[in-house]
Amino acid sequence: MSTARPTSPGPGDEREMSRVRILTAAAEIAAEHGYEGTTISKVTKRSGLPASSVYWFFRDKDHLLAEVVRHSFEQWIAAEPRWERDPRDGRSLAEGLRSILSRSTRGLPGAPDFLRIGHMLLLESREVEAEARQYFLATRDAVASSIAAWFTSHFGTGLRARRPELAMDLARIVIASTDGLFLAHQIDEAGDPDDFITIIVAIVEQAVADAG
């Protein structure tokens, strides 16, 4: 709220600051009240900027919400661990998976509103917001692909040839499990993420063992 008086005029990024203030305010409101519950009036009150400024940066409410999804995702991937092979991640697939999931779930509570907004867009089935929803789905697919690639890189050539779809199946399981964990987290702060990691690792080991 009480940030950045115009008394210290920075470079030309004053423009970007207002834009971001509107985007973050809209993201918080969208995460709390859903798509239709996000009103321009609420955005102006939380951001401290008038409606004319909102419409200066964004052509309409739909476009604003689409940019909110894009912006909150950019913040999310900045904190989210890469699904890439990391020397620190241990030697075996299970150790690596545990390491990467541990970093992932740790960031879940403090995560920005990306997942909340995304899940709402999935649940709310409207056609108008096609842009924001489409963008979230595309992002989701990209994450699934990188997780699948991570799995593939841990498979032997034999398994890779025998079960080419296994990596993507496992990726979908990881995502669905994360969704369930995230939703449970919306209810109470309890629920040990480590238990969930143990479970996911067990699933993957089981699946790979069955396939191998």
Partner DNA sequence: CACAGACTGGAGCGATCACTACAGGGACGC
Partner DNA sequence: GCGTCCCTGTAGTGATCGCTCCAGTCTGTG
Query: Which spans of this chain sit near a second copy (rule: CB under 8 A)?
Result: 31-37, 116, 119-120, 122-126, 137, 140, 169, 172-173, 175-181, 183-184, 186-187, 191, 195-196, 199, 202-203, 206-207
Helix, strand, coil percentages for the chain (3-state, nearest 5): 70, 0, 30
Q: Taking the mean position of all CA atoms in its chain, how far away is CA 129?
A: 18
Look-up of token digits 């890189």:
153
Contacted entry of a second copy, DNA, none for residue 173, CB cut-off 5 to 8 Å set by kind: a second copy
Nearer to a second copy, 19 or 200 (CB): 200
Least distance to a second copy, CB of residue 140, Å: 8
Nearer to a second copy, 83 or 136 (CB): 136
Q: 39 phi and psi, to 5 degrees?
A: -110, 155
Between the two ends of the chain, the Cα-to-Cα distance in Å is 55
Binding residue for DNA (CB under 7 A) from 26, 27, 30, 49? 49
Contact 196, 177 (CB under 8 A): yes
Crossing angle (nearest 10°) for helices 130-154 and 61-79: 20
Least distance to DNA, CB of residue 33, Å: 10
Catalog residues that contact DNA under the rule CB under 7 A. 6, 8-12, 14-15, 18, 38-42, 49-53, 55-56, 60-62
